[in-house]
Amino acid sequence: MLLTHKQVAYFISYVIVTIGGLVLLGWAFDITLLKSLQSGLTTMKANTALTFLLFGLSLRFSDHPRSLFRNLALSFAVAGLLISLLTLSEYWLGWNLGIDELLFVDWTTAVADFPGRMSVATALCFVLLGTALLFTIFRNHLAAHIAAILVGFLGLLVLLGYLYNVSSLYQVFVFNSMAMHTAVTFCLFSLGILQLYGNAGLSALIFNDTAGGVLARRLIPAVIFVPIILGALIVFNQQTAAFDSKFSIALLVLSNIAVLFLILLWSASSLQTIDLERQQSDQQFRLAVEASPGAIILVNQAGKITLVNAQAETLFGYPREELLGQTVELLVPPQFTGHHVRDRDGFFAAPTARPMGAGRDLYGLRKDGRQVPVEIGLNPIQTNEGRFVLASIIDITERKLAEAEIHKMNWALEQRVAERTAQLQAANKELEAFAYSVSHDLRAPLRSIDGFSLALLEDFADSLNDEAQSHLQRVRAASQRMAQLIDDLLALSRLTRSELRPEPVDLSVIVQTIAAELQRAEPEREVTFVIAPAVLVNGDVSLVRVALENLVNNAWKFTAKHASACIEFGVEERPSGETVYFVRDDGAGFDMTYADKLFGAFQRLHTPAEFTGTGIGLATVQRIIHRHGGHIWAEGAVEQGATFYFTLPGTAVRHTPQ
Amino acid sequence: MEKVVLLVEDNPDDVDLTLRAFKKNNLLNEIVIARDGVEALDYLFDTGPYANNPNPLPQLVLLDLKLPKVDGLEVLRRIREDERTKLLPVVVLTSSKEEYDLMQSYSLHANSYIRKPVDFLRFSEAVRQLGFYWLVLNEAPPTGPGDGY
């Protein structure tokens, strides 16, 4: 429909009002065209035009939202009815109320034929029309439509009379006959009333989407025009006497049969197509529903199941005959039935497509009493038959099993992790015990070696020559060295096992303390310390101290050969944003070629004759720095000192710039 | 009164070296050797072989921790538990620098903790200082009533 029914009805009402208005103008200015279309033909009377005007307005406003206009429509309809009823009474009772020429004087009609008075047919049609309008206003659409159709038929009859030139039709009584445009206007009005409420009353039969409506709309033209044409042929035959009259009747009957048969075939074909389409669409729907991997249940507003698919039968264990027509609570486990009805009503009140029972575990109840874990999605559906809910139900037993498996595996994993941790802790404990015994048991023999070598040296000095004494000294030195190595190794191993306890540490203070100790131990040395103040980091206090001790002690040791020295501790911001700390000395330095050997355990770049040391110190420092997540590297040149850089990330460093 | 020093040490080398150190430093006290915890306790409490041969308490006990049979910490505990020996000066003289041993020794009220250096010269020096302090400088606690007075 390009226009809605109401738009068509309103349009018709405007047309009718225009016609009425024009005819009145015609009477006012004596325009023959408007009064009777052609001179000699019956005129549309002024009262007729007025009544059309009134009824036209009534039609337009009969369904207005504001009651003022509806009351206006009512009063117009009543007014028109009054006019027509009075006219009829004039005919019936034979009196003259003086209303016929109230507006204008009718010169065209003879006095004996009641000038200005509308014909009986017209008045009758108006009465019917008025009644139809009242029915419409009071919403009895069926009655309104019946009345409207009667009016339409009467108008059509008059028009057929004009068409077949049957004067008796429009001169049923000796009185005035209906004008042609009056008849047309009646037909139009009839259509207008039918269209005003196109979805109610008789219009509903014609203007709907079902096969019946489609068929009705297709057939109406045929039903109306085919008989008219056939009738015209008969009239023509009568007037020209082309065929014998009885033969012509036989011919008419046969043509009637033929045409009706053709119409029948055409209708049958249309219905067949429509029905096939519907069947196909039904089948598609059914296939879609049956093919769904999940169970589907359609529930109406009263909670009754109206459709299920095969999966629903399998899931719940009922054949579909036992499900259809039952309340859906049949499938709800007893612990939920209580609020399920409430939830259902709530859903219809505010229908949205959503999963059901968000966050809750849902269960369905099978025929055999078993409860199945499910997931349910709800979809509201609006059809001509009302509101429905389409529930898609999926059996999630497997998913739940999988989840349980995962939980179990997680738990088992946690157990294993706990076991592993316990094992590691036990291993650590063993290592500690081992280190403990090593530290004790390995030293004792060393003590003996050293002690008795010295005893030899002291007690038997006379019997031992220089060479012998030198041998013994070397024995002593070696054993002392080994003791130192043991200590260093133990310290290093302890480092990896101990826990890191990060806290804010002031590096400057630590370096100052170490520096002070060194100067106290060897006051004769001339060493200048340049220490950046208030350098704060996050780290383990004892480990950081050990690292700095190693670095500063190294700096002290390797500047021993110089008369005076400068040892520096500071911090730099690199362009990359890294904060880098350093300990710098201007002592013996090292060859950069061997830089990568610096931090290996027991690696030394100097002989023991040049500088003492076990070579563990830097390995220790590196281990400590790495445990803090940082890295350490060195730069140096022979006899030009060395700088050791390191980072301690994860530190919120606050330091005053140098 | 002779001031006796009880040396509790299982390692014979260490015993000899300690004696040598004492001699070299002119500490002429009598040194009694106990080779394990049991011997030490027997000597102190006049039990076992000393049952019929009681002796006065020593002036100083030099106690190694790693001993067979009853170890040093246990000996220390027993010394501190007994009324007679509760006040006895005990110096733990051991190789171990383990924190645990330190903690335990002081918790059990050892008077001092000395770590034996490997270098004999330093060891000798340590003994000299030790001996001088505990045997000469330090005032020994008063001995109990049942001891000859």
DSSP string across A488-506: HHHHHHHHHHSPP-EEEEE
Which residue from A583, A560, A617, A577 is spatially nearest to A508, judged by alpha carbons?
Answer: A583
At A242, the pLDDT band (50, 70, 90 cuts) reads low
One-letter amino acid identity for B13? D
Which residue from A139, A128, A142, A239 is spatially nearest to A187, judged by alpha carbons?
Answer: A128
- pLDDT tens digits, B100-132: 888 999 999 999 998 888 788 888 888 888 888
Q: Which position has the higher pLDDT, A162 or A460?
A: A460
Half-sphere exposure of A86 (CA within 13 A, CB side): 15
Please list every residue in chain B whose beta carbon sits closer than 8 Å to the beta carbon of residue A441. Answer: 66
At B149, the pLDDT band (50, 70, 90 cuts) reads very low
Task: Give the residue-averaged pLDDT of B33-56.
Answer: 88
Query: In angstroms, what separates the C-alpha of A405 from chain B's closest C-alpha?
Result: 47
A564-573 and A526-531 beta bridge pairing: parallel
At A175, the pLDDT band (50, 70, 90 cuts) reads very low
CB contact under 8 A, B11 and A444: yes
CB contact under 8 A, A440 and B13: no
Please list every residue in chain A whose beta carbon sits closer than 8 Å to the beta carbon of residue B94. Answer: 440
CB contact under 8 A, A454 and B96: no
Query: In angstroms, what separates the C-alpha of B13 from chain A's closest C-alpha?
Result: 6
CB contact under 8 A, A444 and B100: no
- Closest alpha carbon within chain A to B20: A455
- Closest alpha carbon within chain A to B17: A451
At A650, the pLDDT band (50, 70, 90 cuts) reads low
Least confident of A405-409, A529-533, B96-100: B96-100
Residue B144, pLDDT above cutoff 60: no
CB contact under 8 A, B96 and A436: yes
Query: In angstroms, what separates the C-alpha of A478 from chain B's closest C-alpha?
Result: 11
B116 touches chain A (CB under 8 A): yes
At A658, the pLDDT band (50, 70, 90 cuts) reads very low
Please list every residue in chain A whose beta carbon sits closer than 8 Å to the beta carbon of residue B97. Answer: 439, 487
Q: Report yes or no: B37 and B69 within 8 Å, Cβ to Cβ.
A: yes
- Closest alpha carbon within chain B to A442: B95
Task: Give the residue-averaged pLDDT of A98-122.
Answer: 74
Q: What is the pLDDT of residue A352?
A: 82
With a pLDDT cut of 70, the percent of chain A lying above it is: 91
Task: For the full predicted model, state whether its pTM sits above 0.80.
Answer: no
DSSP state of B144: P
Q: What is the pLDDT of residue A195?
A: 85
CB contact under 8 A, B96 and A439: yes
Q: Which position has the higher pLDDT, A141 or A408?
A: A408
Angle between helices A443-459 and A397-441 (to 10 degrees): 10
Which residue from A195, A264, A188 is spatially nearest to A226, judged by alpha carbons?
Answer: A264
Q: What is the pLDDT of residue A168?
A: 55
Give the best residue of B19, B118, B121 to mutate against chain A (max A CB count within 10 A): B118
User: Which tokens go with A479?
Assistant: 């054993």
Residue A415, pLDDT above cutoff 90: yes
Rounded CA gap, A335 and B136, in Å?
A: 92
Least CB–CB distance from B118: residue in A440, A443, A455: A443
CA A541 vs CA A99, A484, A653: distances in Å: 121, 24, 15
B82 touches chain A (CB under 8 A): no
- pLDDT tens digits, A129-149: 999 989 888 888 888 899 999
CB contact under 8 A, A439 and B95: yes
At A173, the pLDDT band (50, 70, 90 cuts) reads very low
DSSP string across A279-294: HHHHHHHHHHHHH-SS
Sorted by sequence, the CB contacts under 8 Å of residue A402 that are 6+ apart come out as: none
Residue A259, pLDDT above cutoff 90: no
Query: In angstroms, what separates the C-alpha of B60 from chain A's closest C-alpha?
Result: 23
Residue B26, pLDDT above cutoff 90: no
CA A639 vs CA A111, A464, A515, A560: distances in Å: 149, 41, 22, 12
Please list every residue in chain A whose beta carbon sits closer than 8 Å to the beta carbon of residue B17. Answer: 447-448, 451-452, 455
Q: Which residues of A332-347 are buried (b: 16+ CB within 10 A; e: fewer)?
A: bbeebeeebeeebeeb
Rounded CA gap, A638 and A588, in Å?
A: 6
Please list every residue in chain A whose beta carbon sits closer than 8 Å to the beta carbon of residue B117. Answer: 447, 483
- Closest alpha carbon within chain B to A475: B119
B90-94 and B112-115 beta bridge pairing: parallel
Please list every residue in chain B whose beta carbon sits closer than 8 Å to the beta carbon of residue A452. Answer: 13, 17
At A571, the pLDDT band (50, 70, 90 cuts) reads very high
CB contact under 8 A, A450 and B120: yes
Residue A653, pLDDT above cutoff 50: no
> Tokens 């370096």 sit at which residue?
A511
User: How many Cβ atoms sit within 10 Å of the Cβ of residue A633?
Assistant: 16
- Closest alpha carbon within chain B to A438: B96
Query: In angstroms, what separates the C-alpha of A417 from chain B's closest C-alpha?
Result: 30
CB contact under 8 A, B123 and A452: no
Rounded CA gap, A248 and B60, in Å?
A: 160
Residue A286, pLDDT above cutoff 50: yes
Least CB–CB distance from B14: residue in A439, A447, A454: A447
Least CB–CB distance from B95: residue in A444, A450, A451: A444
Give the best residue of A450, A487, A488 to mutate against chain B (max B CB count within 10 A): A450
Residue A547, pLDDT above cutoff 70: yes
Residue B43, pLDDT above cutoff 80: yes
Q: Residue A440, Cα to own-chain centre: how many angstroms?
A: 73
Q: Report yes or no: A501 and A535 within 8 Å, Cβ to Cβ.
A: no
User: Which tokens go with A372?
Assistant: 């199945």
Q: What is the pLDDT of residue B106?
A: 93
Least confident of A181-195, A363-377, A489-503, B51-65: A489-503
Angle between helices A141-164 and A180-196 (to 10 degrees): 150
User: Which tokens go with B13?
Assistant: 């080398």
B12 touches chain A (CB under 8 A): no
Residue A594, pLDDT above cutoff 90: no
CB contact under 8 A, B118 and A446: yes
At B138, the pLDDT band (50, 70, 90 cuts) reads confident
Residue A432, pLDDT above cutoff 80: no
Query: In angstroms, what separates the C-alpha of B143 from chain A's closest C-alpha?
Result: 35
DSSP state of A116: T
Q: How many A-B residue pairs are in contact by the CB < 8 A criterion?
A: 62
CB contact under 8 A, B118 and A479: yes
Q: What is the pLDDT of residue A2?
A: 67
H helices within B72-131, ranges in order? 72-81, 99-107, 120-131
Q: Which residues pair with A379 in a beta bridge?
A: A390
DSSP string across A302-314: TSBEEEE-HHHHH
